[in-house]
Amino acid sequence: MSISIKTDEEVEKMRIAGKLAADVLVMIEEYIKAGVSTNDLDKICHDYIVDVQDAIPAPLNYRGFPKSICTSLNHQVCHGIPNDKKLKNGDIINIDITVIKEGYHGDTSKMFAVGTIPPYAQRLCDVAHKALYIGINQVKPGIRLGDIGYAIQHYAEAQHTSVVREYCGHGIGVKFHEDPQILHYGKPHTGDLITEGMTFTIEPMINLGKRHIKMLGDDWTVVTKDHKLSAQWEHTLLVTKTGVDILTLRAEEENWRDTLD
Ligand code: MF3
Ligand code: CO
Ligand code: CO
């Protein structure tokens, strides 16, 4: 396999898919409250993607995944399967949306708080969010993949959190998961060179406790081994001539660079 460089026409389609995925996260926010089940959220997102956006929810039937979105609650790291359990006050939840529009994928996720959450949970969500931005801020032609991973790991560990190693960001385009793998840990000046026209995700999973994970019996849901909280944020990116465009940016994040000191 090799890294695909997108043509201008492909970039246009990636922009459209990215915008649609971001719009789903904006749309779903008002529904996230105590008493709603993750199946309810799955149905609302499914119907919005299919009926309003005229797009396809990529997770549905992807390698046998049974639902249209991933919902990862509290100590769940990623790939949580929506079910009938209801959200409760104090929960944190990652909603991960991937849509396909005109054959191209847009992939993005964010953390939501259910009601009032404890300060340590808020802090973890904030660290994971900043870790994503720090990774994105590295991206420009000429850097290497290891520079992204190093920046994320260095920041997260300085905050006394840990970085999950087993799952990574990925190239994205006609395929959901393309080359290259974008590790969220690593060494500076190592790995493949980043070049203009690449599209890939960064999606660090940051744990409050140790980095180790285990897989549940459903063969999808990944949880922390120590059952402490985990948080993740994800964007789909385009490498431009001079830097990076966030294809899944939401209006609330317009000033994302200001959050980096
Ligand atoms: N959206 C996830 C990612 O960021 C992948 C989910 S695969 C699924 O790569 F099958 F669980 F949907
Ligand atoms: Co992804
Ligand atoms: Co995703």
- Give residue limits of the domains in the chain: 8-249
Task: Report how far residue 136's alpha carbon sits from residue 123's, in angstroms, rounded to the nearest whole number.
Answer: 20
pLDDT of residue 261: 78
- Do residues 230 and 89 make contact, with C-beta atoms less than 8 angstroms apart? no
Q: How high is the mean pLDDT of the chain?
A: 98
Distances from the Cα of 231 to the Cαs of 78, 105, 116, 261, in angstroms? 9, 23, 16, 22
Superfamily of domain 8-249: Creatinase/methionine aminopeptidase superfamily (3.90.230.10)
| Site to substitute for ligand 1 among 72, 79, 216, most atoms within 8 A of C-beta | 79
Pocket of ligand 1 (CB under 6 A): 59, 62-63, 65, 70, 79, 96, 98, 107, 201, 203, 234
- pLDDT digits over 74-84, tens only? 999 999 999 99
**Closest-lying ligand 1 atom to the alpha carbon of residue 65:** 10
Under 8 Å CB-to-CB from 207, ≥6 apart: which residues? Answer: 77, 161, 162, 163, 164, 224, 228, 229, 230
Top mutation candidate among 56, 98, 237 for ligand 1, by most atoms within 8 Å of CB: 98
The model's pLDDT over 8-51, given as tens digits with 9 standing for 90+, comes to 999 999 999 999 999 999 999 999 999 999 999 999 999 999 99
Asked if the model's pLDDT at residue 1 lies above 80, the reply is no
Residue closest via CA to ligand 1's atom 8 equals: 59
Nearest atom (ligand 1) to Cα of 170: 9
Q: Whose CA is nearest to atom 4 of ligand 1?
A: 107
Task: Give DSSP secondary structure letters for 6-27.
Answer: PPHHHHHHHHHHHHHHHHHHHH
